[in-house]
Structure 1
Amino acid sequence: MKPAMMRRFYDLGNGTSIISTTDFFMPIVDNPFDFGRIAATNAISDIFAMGGKPIMAIAILGWPINTLSPDIAREVTEGGALPAVRPVSRWRADTLLTPRSRSLVSRSQA
């Protein structure tokens, strides 16, 4: 395993490891709910890509409160909660370009 990958894992010593990851890539969409949903889906997909099972998530929202209203921040966090609470058995996500909106959207399927 590459040294960078090893830092993401903490071995509990009982056959279980904790996988830790952060994701600060900003989705390119105009809808606040979709923004949060896409950002959370991207972060959670990193855990799945490493063969893990998400059991906890921490959301960090850096927000220019004098420029963007708290109501918009609330919509972002509501969208971000959706992938975290959706029951997952077989999970798949991808990103695609929609011709109608000309924006990137994330699609997930359980």
Structure 2
Amino acid sequence: MLTSNVLAKIETPQLRQGLPEFRVGDTVRVHYRIVEGEKERIQVFQGVVLKQHRAGARSTFTVRKVSFNVGVERIFPMHSPRIDKIEVVSRGVVRRSRLFYLRSLAGKAARVRDAKDG
């Protein structure tokens, strides 16, 4: 038996079901469960998906937003139990799989074209 088959057999039951389909360039709103001591709250992080790393249970996606003129990026594990839900706010039209060029842009230049605009 190949190693990849063994990993697939172990990882498959751990994958989350019901996550929305989103791509690089989409604007998403991630509801992330934060535990502070004994309290638990949900923090919403909204931004553009810069990249996706597709690796079964180890899949991640990176979201970037600008908060008070400071760029903030966060990497989320796709199948983490801490993610409460993911909402797709808008679909973006991009021709790249990694949008790292957005890091050097600011203001209106850093916008991603919307799918409904064409």
Q: Which TM-score bucket, shorter chain as reference?
A: under 0.3
What TM-score, normalized to structure 1? Answer: 0.27
More helix by share: 1
